[in-house]
Amino acid sequence: MRAPFLPAALITGMLLCPMPGGVAVAHAQETSNALVPLPGTPEKPFAALSRALLGGRDSLVRLTKQQVGLKYKLGAVKPGLAFDCSGLVKWVMSAFDLHLPRTAAEQARLGIEVPKDTAQLLPGDLLFFGRGKRVTHIGIYVGEGRYVHAANRRKGVIESDVSPPGSRWWKGARRVIVDDSLAAMVRTGS
């Protein structure tokens, strides 16, 4: 009868009191008396998504700012040569698999309307401008109250301060880069 008891006691002893230098180490939180390994503190559910979205926005801002200094040419859409305002927006967004229409007026109808408030804008939001009810110009918000746009033949692609919210020239802002949960809320009207 002693033989079966000895191996069971040895195994129990090894599990409860591992030998120094052994591989199995039980982790317990300060308030827990668990004898089994516990995983570390889990990451908050949307932290990875937030990092991915912000990382994507950082990449978009970097690519957008790299176009500063290029010439302005009406109808141009080729990187490294020249852009017009909507061509710049279309090309940058296509690099992130967002395929926008060609004109500023068409682009200004996409996405979700965002208040004309730099505190609520996110990098990658589209800012559109014009006279009267017409949209004739568009640019990409890059953060800190600034946006990049193909201004005109004299200035080319530049980075500028956003117009004051009361400006008649600044017509509005639209968010075309949204996460899935926000997009679902917009589709359902929640």
Q: What mean pLDDT is predicted for residues 83-101? A: 94
What range does the domain containing 104 cover? 47-188
Is 99 noted as a catalytic residue in this protein? Answer: no
85 is catalytic: yes
Give the pLDDT of residue 164: 87
Share above pLDDT 90 across residues of the chain, in percent, rounded to a whole number:
55
pLDDT tens figures, 43-71: 544 444 444 444 568 899 999 999 999 99
Q: Which residue has the higher pLDDT, 10 or 149?
A: 149
Residue 5, helix vs strand vs coil: helix
- Whether residue 132 is contained in a domain is answered as yes
Residue 17 among the catalytic residues:
no
CATH of the domain at 94: 3.90.1720.10
How far, in Å, CA of 13 to CA of 22, rounded? Answer: 13
Predicted pLDDT at 155: 97
Q: Is residue 25 part of a domain?
A: no
Please indicate, yes or no, if residue 2 is contained in any of the structural domains. no
In tens, the pLDDT along 110-152 reads: 999 999 999 999 999 999 999 999 999 999 999 999 999 999 9
List 17, 27, 85, 99, catalytic entry = 85
Of the residues 17, 27, 99, 137, only one is catalytic, namely 137
CB proximity list for 174: less than 8 A, separation 6 or greater: 107, 108, 109, 110, 111, 112, 113, 114, 125, 126, 128
